[in-house]
Amino acid sequence: MSGSRRRRGLPIDTDTAQTIELVDLGPRRNATAGTPVESKAVLYADRHTEIGVWEVTPGSFPASKDGECELMQFVSGAGTISDDRGVTEIRPGATMFCPDGWTGRWEVLETTRKTYALHRTKPRIARVPDRLIGAVRRRLRA
């Protein structure tokens, strides 16, 4: 079964989180050190929630939450996550919550894998093409 397929009722125990097949997402955007590569498996998703397993290889990068909050529990890896509240150690069993508006910096020393639950706090709005906006404005003026 593909790592990107949505699943229902799959337990997210430590064994599953460590062995589940992940889909390669490619290099992490905005990396400031190293060449971290992300991969993940989405286990459940709907309009407001996404639950899955995520992994990143060593490197450093800024991160933020805008329009969503996230609860994560690490199952493997080593490093730190720094934010205005301090430093959270990345290690198996560590748990961290990032509220909407959170910003921080990841320093990944060993490939890190976590389970996560994202909750969207704002609806995602699709970007309307400029040509469509122009056409609506012209019709309103007519």
For CA atoms 35, 29, 33, 119, the dihedral sign is: negative
**Three-state secondary-structure class, residue 64:** strand
Number of structural domains, the chain?
1
Whether 39 is covered by a domain: the verdict is yes
Pairing relationship of beta strands 59-64 and 33-34 according to DSSP bridges = antiparallel
Scanning the chain, the segments in alpha helix (DSSP H) are 14-19, 130-141
25 belongs to a structural domain: yes
Q: Is residue 2 part of a domain?
A: no
- b/e code 14-40 from CB counts within 10 Å (16+ = b): eeebeebebeeeeebeebeeeebbbbb
CA separation for the pair 64, 3 (Å, rounded): 25
Asked, for residue 6, whether it belongs to a domain, the answer is: no
Residue 54 falls within a domain, yes or no?
yes
The per-residue pLDDT for range 64-80, each reduced to its tens digit, is 999 999 999 999 999 99
pLDDT of 94 above 80: yes
Range of the domain at 38: 14-141
H/E stretch holding 129 reads: none
Query: What CATH number corresponds to the domain at position 69?
Result: 2.60.120.10
Task: List pLDDT tens digits, range 106-139.
Answer: 999 999 999 999 999 987 665 556 666 666 676 6
Q: What is the pLDDT of residue 22?
A: 96
